[in-house]
Amino acid sequence: MTTKNKMNPYIYGIGRKKESTAIVYLVPFSESSSEITFEVNGCKGEQYFQQNFTYLNQISLPLKKFNLEKKYKIIANVKGGGLTGQADSIKLGIARALCKINKLSFRPTLKFEGFLKRDARIKERRKYGLKKARKASQYSKR
């Protein structure tokens, strides 16, 4: 859903990877007064991702593809998983939000680049008689 009224001028997208879920809001810079361009769970993105620029570059790839990194402020609420899963879920959320802005021009490029792929891998459940999902106790012949 795109919310474009005077109260909430933002576009949002939801991204998931492994155990992490991210709700990403793209706010136009004319509406936001703060100088922070990327915010995760209430703190700066650089601080949240511990100055790891691999994660930060990976997150902003969908915006860089269309030269929109100066037009939108990213606000993300993330929970679950580790930093890698959270970074990928934010990237997917940004790509889905961009599709809501202009579906006809953005979606084919984002799909071709692989930004709209959902990685559905999750932890396998533990089976009875085993120590973990697949780990069994050592077999003893005698």
Token pair 């809501």 is at which residue?
100
What is the spatial distance between Cα 15 and Cα 97, in angstroms, rounded to a whole number? 10
3 state DSSP class of 77: strand
Indicate whether 135 belongs to any domain: no
Domain that holds residue 74: 11-113
- Burial classification of residue 136, based on how many CB atoms lie within 10 Å of its CB (0-12 exposed, 13-18 middle, 19 or more buried): exposed
Count how many domains the chain has.
1
Indicate whether 1 belongs to any domain: no
User: pTM of whole model > 0.75?
Assistant: yes
Indicate whether 132 belongs to any domain: no
Q: In 3D, which of 17, 52, 19, 59 has the Cα closest to residue 37?
A: 59
- Count of positions (residues) in the chain: 142
Q: Is the pLDDT of residue 5 over 60?
A: no
> What's the pLDDT score for residue 3?
52
Amino acid at 39: E
What is the spatial distance between Cα 75 and Cα 41, in angstroms, rounded to a whole number? 8
Q: Is the pLDDT of residue 10 over 90?
A: no
Indicate whether 125 belongs to any domain: no
Question: What CATH number is attached to the domain comprising 41?
Answer: 3.30.230.10
Indicate whether 86 belongs to any domain: yes
Q: In 3D, which of 82, 78, 105, 102 has the Cα closest to residue 92?
A: 78
Task: Check the CA dihedral 112-113-118-121 and report its sign.
Answer: positive
Indicate whether 54 belongs to any domain: yes
Among 32-36, 109-113, 131-135, the range scoring the smallest mean pLDDT is 32-36
* Predicted confidence band of residue 101 (pLDDT cuts 50, 70, 90): confident
